[in-house]
């Protein structure tokens, strides 16, 4: 309970500071409205500074060994600075320098605006999935290193094939070996049910278990033991697929968000140079 109260207090303080910075930025812009170009430079500079701070969060995550504060604190401030940047983006991009609502009229301004909206959108999505997905993975057991999942999957495939080929599993009718070739080999050899795992569905794995239970009626005692071991491997493969699906979403989101942030920094830098060089006019 005390931890929740402390966390709420920290969140409230951070939100109040961010709000104060936003109000101060708007007041500063309003004070300089007698020179509309100065107001544009003021809000644009603050917006670019916010984008740099937001981008630095990604750098902070990659150098976690340095004493730069807790990652959770950085994430909290990342969210609040993002809100502040959204406010500055609306003021700078849609109200200045004319003080009337307008859409960006140059192709570069439009490109910056579109990329910023994409960065903000993926940031909001990322805030949600980075809170939910790690909790889901932890609830299903120990996290597996993403790069090792393929090796573990191949190991399960080899173990399942060895079970089917052992003397006790081989029969003249080839029932178990045929089932392995038709149904289990494709299952073990590649990731499966990725969208289903994101929806918390285990239908393919349960379907295979049901099929093996039905098949057991036609197996010998030794083959039924092999079938039971195959069920255990199927369940382990299902856990690997669950981890793979969720970690793939995290990595895919991070790649997309990072690429958009890099594009935003490049376009915003070009926009700033041109605006300062040509008196506020850009392409």
Distances (CA, A) of 198 to 91, 194, 246: 38, 7, 7
Q: Using pLDDT thresholds of 50, 70 and 90, give the confidence band for residue 13.
A: low
As a whole number of angstroms, the distance between CA 121 and CA 141 comes to 31
Q: What is the pLDDT of residues 155-200, one digit of tens each?
A: 999 999 999 888 877 776 778 888 999 999 999 999 999 999 999 9
Q: Report CA torsion sign: 43, 47, 53, 59.
A: negative
Q: How confident is the model at residue 8 (pLDDT cuts 50, 70, 90)?
A: very low
SS3 helix, strand, coil % of the chain, rounded to 5? 80, 0, 20
Q: pLDDT higher for 161 or 274?
A: 161
pLDDT class of 68 with cuts at 50, 70, 90: low
Q: Indicate the average pLDDT of the chain.
A: 81
Q: What's the pLDDT tens digit per position in 30-61? A: 555 555 456 777 778 888 888 888 887 776 66
Q: How far apart are CA 131 and CA 246, in angstroms?
A: 12
In residues, how long is the chain? Answer: 283
C-alpha 275, offset from chain centre:
34
């Amino acid at each position: 309970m005390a931890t929740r109260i402390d966390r709420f207090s920290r969140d409230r303080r951070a939100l109040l500071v961010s709000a104060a910075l936003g109000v101060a930025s708007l007041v500063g812009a309003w004070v300089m409205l007698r020179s509309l170009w100065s107001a544009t430079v003021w809000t644009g500079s603050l917006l670019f500074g916010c984008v740099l701070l937001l981008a630095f969060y990604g750098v902070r995550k990659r150098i976690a060994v340095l004493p730069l504060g807790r990652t959770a604190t950085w994430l909290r401030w990342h969210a609040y600075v993002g809100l502040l940047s959204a406010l500055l983006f609306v003021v700078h991009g849609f109200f200045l320098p004319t003080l009337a609502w307008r859409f960006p009229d140059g192709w570069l301004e439009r490109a910056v605006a579109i990329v910023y909206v994409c960065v903000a959108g993926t940031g909001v999505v990322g805030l949600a999935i980075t809170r939910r997905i790690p909790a889901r993975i932890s609830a299903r057991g120990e996290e597996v290193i993403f790069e090792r999942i393929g090796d573990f999957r191949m190991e399960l495939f080899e173990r399942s094939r060895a079970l089917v080929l052992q003397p006790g599993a081989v029969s003249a009718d080839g029932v178990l070996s045929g089932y392995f070739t038709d149904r289990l080999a494709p299952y073990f050899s590649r990731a499966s049910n990725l969208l289903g795992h994101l929806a918390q569905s285990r239908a393919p794995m349960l379907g295979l278990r049901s099929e093996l239970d039905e098949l057991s009626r036609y197996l010998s005692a030794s083959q039924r033991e092999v079938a039971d071991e195959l069920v255990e491997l199927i369940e382990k493969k299902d856990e690997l697929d669950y981890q793979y699906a969720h970690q793939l979403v995290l990595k895919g989101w991070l790649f997309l968000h990072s690429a958009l942030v890099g594009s935003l920094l490049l376009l915003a830098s070009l926009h700033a140079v041109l605006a300062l060089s040509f008196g506020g006019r850009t392409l």
